[in-house]
Amino acid sequence: MSAEWLAFWDSPHSIYVSARHKDVHYRLIASEIAALVPGPQARVLDYGSGEALHADLVAAAAGALVLCEPAPSVRAGLKTRFADNAKISVVAPSELAQLSEHTLDLIVLHSVAQYLSTAELDELLALFHRLLKADGRLVVSDVVAPDVAAPTDIAALLRFGAANGFLCAALGGLVRTVLSDYRRLRATLGLTRYAEAAMMQKLGAAGFAAERMAKNIGHNQARMAFIAHPR
């Protein structure tokens, strides 16, 4: 991840328009990841977890959960939040090399690929291939297609807000976002986008057999999710 994107995620920002938005966002993601956990003894890695307010839901479905977060202040908050949960460990990306190879049952990369260069994603996929068991699964979700424009994301947020009681906050939050560093970074750095075929090709080149999932993780169904396993 570029230094500018990392600095943005490591600072106060207006992506979440209210406490209610942040809570339901992370609860939805956690519940949908928990549904993918293959069993109560599974070892799970959530890479680029963000604040992961409800990671305990994933941990409850698994044997162990590793939260890997590049942003130092967010990582520190995770360590504090889950200090009493023996199933949850929090690591920096540099610490993943210490994990034993072929020991993870599920890896989730949610809403991260768009902030990585294609080369950075290739490096991560190679790492994930080494860490997953032969029958393990990788989920890459919230992938942004080339034809998905900002208004589509806005419409998805407004529908999510209307369904979860923060529509007014969402409308106000959109105004703040227009004036925020996120809009500037999205305009200058852009998002890395993948057509379905391009993501399938990238996963295949990294040694995975993959397919597109019927449903994306999270509220924005204009984006894509893929599930893959090592070949």
Give the pLDDT confidence of 55-67 residue by residue, as tens digits.
Answer: 999 999 999 999 9
Tell me, what's the pLDDT at 121? 97
Q: What is the mean pLDDT of each run of 10 residues along the chain (231 residues)?
A: 81 83 96 98 97 98 98 97 98 93 98 95 97 98 91 90 90 71 69 96 98 97 97 94
DSSP state of 141: E
Tell me, what's the pLDDT at 151? 85
Tell me, what's the pLDDT at 179? 55
What is the CATH classification number for the domain harbouring 77?
Answer: 3.40.50.150
- Cα 9 from Cα 112, distance rounded (Å): 11
The set of residues, in sequence order, having a beta carbon less than 8 Å from that of 175 and lying 6+ positions away, is none
The set of residues, in sequence order, having a beta carbon less than 8 Å from that of 186 and lying 6+ positions away, is 150
Q: What is the CA radius of gyration of the chain?
A: 17
Tell me, what's the pLDDT at 173? 77
CA 66 to chain centre: 13
Tell me, what's the pLDDT at 180? 63
Domain of residue 104 covers 3-230
**Which helix (H) or strand (E) is 156 found in, with range?**
helix 150-164
Instruction: Single out the residue of 80, 19, 27 nearest to residue 52, CA to CA.
Output: 27
Total domains in the fold of the chain: 1
The set of residues, in sequence order, having a beta carbon less than 8 Å from that of 204 and lying 6+ positions away, is 210
Tell me, what's the pLDDT at 148? 85
**Backbone dihedral region for residue 79 (phi beyond 0: left; psi -120 to 50: alpha; all else: beta):** alpha
Tell me, what's the pLDDT at 171? 85
At 201, list the tokens: 């090709």
